[in-house]
Chain A
Amino acid sequence: KNEVEQSPQNLTAQEGEFITINCSYSVGISALHWLQQHPGGGIVSLFMLSSGKKKHGRLIATINIQEKHSSLHITASHPRDSAVYICARGSQGNLIFGKGTKLSVKP
């Protein structure tokens, strides 16, 4: 059983739509990471958060520690946002990863 669950697995949106990707985890954390994997395979870190909310451009990440749940929101989505979004929780010196959410934004 994966300790980090993401939903949905796949998401298709029209350009301009507001997008939400969810992440749930089963144990307490030190930090929750959101990552983006491009079609070529490269991964970049988007956010690292342990409480509250962080915003960077059109991306917003929130976390509810009590409910062990985090969300990644994309406002005014664009085709260039198409990628796999990965949630990971900190665990004893490394990360436990979710399986990812594949987002496709159509023009």
Chain B
Amino acid sequence: DGGITQSPKYLFRKEGQNVTLSCEQNLNHDAMYWYRQDPGQGLRLIYYSQIVNDFQKGDIAEGYSVSREKKESFPLTVTSAQKNPTAFYLCASSTGLAGVNDEQFFGPGTRLTVL
């Protein structure tokens, strides 16, 4: 079955620790995205990548880093510099650029809690 997987589903982190969230897709999509969702707010874009070995900052990239070494994988690292990392993180992918004319497919999400 084609789709997007994210792991883990729940993640707990101590303050000051870096943590990496996994996102894998087997849809052969070129574009991949990371969003953050907080209660009462719309999804906000952290980073996106249109092609392997290239990525761009979104609206709230500070305190986060990404890599795109393979087409299928787009891991997100939440660093200790992120002041308020507790949130629900969603990964998505699309054939081309979602803002133009392509449907976006979402993973199940990872809920990160900083203790």
**A residues with CB within 8 A of B:** 2, 4, 30-31, 33, 35, 40-45, 48, 50, 86, 88, 90-100
For A33, what are the chain B residues with a Cβ–Cβ distance below 8 Å? 98, 103-104
How many residue pairs link A and B with beta carbons under 8 A? The number is: 73
State the CA gap A50–B40 with chains docked (Å): 27
Is B2 located at the chain interface by the 8 A CB criterion? no
Contacts of A4 in B (CB 8 A): 42
Q: Choose one: B50, B103, B109, B111; the contact of A93 (CB below 8 Å).
A: B50
Q: How far is the CA of A41 from the CA of B88 in the complex (A)?
A: 8
Nearest chain B CB to A90's CB is how many angstroms away? 4
What separation, in Å, do the CA atoms of A92 and B58 have in the docked complex? 11
10 additional A-B pairs beyond A86-B43, A93-B100, beta carbons within 8 Å, are A4-B42, A30-B99, A33-B103, A41-B108, A42-B108, A93-B48, A94-B97, A99-B40, A99-B41, A100-B42
A4-B43 Cα distance, complex, nearest whole Å: 11
Seen from chain B, the residues whose Cβ lies within 8 Å of a Cβ on chain A are 31, 33, 40-45, 48, 50, 58, 88, 90, 92, 97-109, 111
For B42, the chain A residues whose CB sits under 8 A away are 2, 4, 86, 88, 96-100
